[in-house]
Amino acid sequence: MKVDMDAVRLLMEEAATTTILPHFRKLESKQIDQKAGPHDVVTVADKASEEFLTPRLQALIPGSTVVGEEASSADESIMDALRRPGYAWLIDPIDGTANFAVGSQLFAVMVALVKDGDAVAAWIYDPIRNICAMAEKGKGAVMREADGSTRKLSMPKPPSLAHISGAPNLRYGDRDFAARIAYRMDKTAGVMILRCAGQEYLAMLDGHFHYAVYNRAMPWDHTAGCLLITEAGGIAKRLDGSLYRAADKPWGSPLVAACGEEQWNWLKQDIFDA
């Protein structure tokens, strides 16, 4: 089935304009709730954005299901739709909510279309810069700029490990693994953590970052980004060598997205496995 890439982008832009940006830097404390812990928050804007997008995305593909972050937080069984045949939409209504809640511009809206457990289309929209990265499986990735122009995305490949910088997100998961990576970061060019997977994927697509590591890989956080990275010439695999899938369980072998296969192997051999 052919999906209208611009129709989805326009819905994301409308969601941002009507449900997200009116709350930016205007949230009251009563409009921010905690979910699983102090770093896991939700705002009225998250809920409104997901409620806006859910029926409109479903209408684009009759019979499709929706797996939204906020609905799934209330009912984990919703994620089972990713492991059933057919089409499912993945929605992260505001990625980087902790940033959004304190007035940081580093947040994004992410949508992925999944068929039979694998991503077939992806969108990451930055409401502040009004840019949107988009990809269809097997057709490459593009960036739509604020002026309406588009450009093909192709990730640059650093010539050595010493030229690589990235985002090793180590808050969750195995503490020994985190300590091992932290101890070896001096072999790379540097570390930049944005506290927003969507913004980190956008940074990788434009060559500002060259890799990112995630111990916890929730589908709404990474499905869109992994397809975009792959279609822009990079790779998104778990450390055990398996490709990332939307149908995967969130916890497992850490997810490493990188600008290329060779760079992924350098990181695995010299940082993660050594």
Binding site feature residues for Mg(2+): 69, 92, 94-95, 221
- Please report, in range form, the residues annotated as the binding site: 69, 92, 94-95, 221
Render the chain in DSSP notation, one character per residue.
----HHHHHHHHHHHIIIIIGGGTTT--GGGEEEEEETTEEEEHHHHHHHHHHHHHHHHHSTT-EEEEHHHHHH-GGGGGGGGSSSEEEEEEEEETHHHHHTT-S--EEEEEEEETTEEEEEEEEETTTTEEEEEETTS-EEEE-TTS-EEE------SSGGG-EEEEE-SSS-HHHHHHHHHHGGGSSEE---S-HHHHHHHHHTTS-SEEEEEE--HHHHHHHHHHHHHTT-EEEETTSPBP-TTS-SEEEEEEEES-HHHHHHHIIIII--
